[in-house]
């Protein structure tokens, strides 16, 4: 039957210029995020990529889509580091601590990402969905291992923990604040005494 095959309905492949623009946008966004944070004005990013604002919306309907696209690799790396750390580390609690460190490293080096992570704006739904769906299970696994080993208090929800860690990383570069110290206190607080 008029299949979904290549018969008559072969959908045209994406135009070359479109792909080029997408890549230019990704590069421009990455650069803009570094200098102006993830809230960099849409117009700036578009200008930097040499495209119109319409183009940015066509490729990345929401800001979250753009953020996800820019940081996908790093999030993947973080997610994959979880099981690895669990295998290498002396104890599950050590693995958990190291992994959280990795996560914190990721967040504090992206101006505004931590803020964006917790925005309840509908446009950031994608961000929640991706970041959390990808990282929460990893965190849960580490948490579970540590709890099973009797190292930490049981029953701590990974989603809540990650949410909290994310919050602690907001404004990590303000003078007079120390996100890592606070995260350290949380990790210490998890410990069973």
Partner DNA sequence: TGAAAAGCGGAACCGCGTTCCGTATATTCC
Partner DNA sequence: GGAATATACGGAACGCGGTTCCGCTTTTCA
Q: Does position 86 bind its own copies by CB under 8 A?
A: no
Structural tokens at position 120: 């309840």
User: Cβ of residue 79: shortest distance to DNA, in angstroms?
Assistant: 27
Among 51, 113, 143, 190, binds its own copies (CB under 8 A): 190
Q: Does position 129 bind its own copies by CB under 8 A?
A: no
Q: Does position 154 bind DNA by CB under 7 A?
A: no
CB closer to its own copies out of 28 and 158 = 158
Question: In sequence order, what are the residues at sequence separation of 6 or more whose Cβ sits closer than 8 angstroms to the Cβ of residue 114?
Answer: 107, 108, 166, 167, 169, 170, 171, 172
The structure tokens 């008029």 sit at 2
The structure tokens 């099973």 sit at 148
User: Cβ of residue 132: shortest distance to its own copies, in angstroms?
Assistant: 9
Q: In whole angstroms, what is the distance from residue 70 CA to residue 34 CA?
A: 11
Residue 96 binds which entry of DNA, its own copies, none, CB below 5-8 Å type-dependent: none
DSSP string covering 72-126, please? HHHHHHHHHHHHHHHHHSSSHHHHHHHHHHHHHHHHHTSTTHHHHHH---GGGHH
User: Cβ of residue 187: shortest distance to its own copies, in angstroms?
Assistant: 7
Number of residues counted as binding DNA (CB under 7 A) = 29
State the residues that interact with DNA by CB under 7 A. Answer: 10-18, 21-22, 39-43, 50-55, 57-59, 61-63, 123
């Amino acid at each position: 039957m008029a299949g979904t095959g290549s018969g008559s309905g072969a959908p045209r492949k994406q135009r070359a210029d479109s792909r080029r623009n997408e890549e230019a946008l990704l590069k421009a966004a990455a650069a803009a995020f570094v200098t102006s944070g993830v809230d960099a004005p849409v117009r700036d990013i578009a200008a930097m990529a040499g495209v119109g604002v319409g183009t940015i919306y066509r490729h990345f309907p929401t800001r979250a889509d753009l953020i996800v696209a820019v940081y996908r690799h790093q999030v993947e790396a973080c997610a994959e580091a979880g099981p690895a750390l669990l295998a290498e580390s002396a104890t599950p609690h050590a693995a958990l601590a190291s992994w959280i460190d990795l996560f914190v490293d990721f967040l504090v080096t992206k101006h505004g990402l931590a803020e964006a992570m917790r925005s309840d704006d509908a446009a950031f739904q994608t961000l929640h969905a991706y970041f959390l769906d990808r990282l929460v299970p990893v965190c849960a696994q580490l948490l579970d291992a540590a709890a099973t080993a009797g190292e930490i208090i049981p029953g701590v929800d990974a989603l809540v923990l990650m949410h909290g860690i994310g919050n602690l990383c907001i404004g990590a570069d303000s003078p007079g604040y120390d996100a890592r110290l606070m995260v350290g206190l949380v990790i210490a607080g998890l410990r069973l005494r």
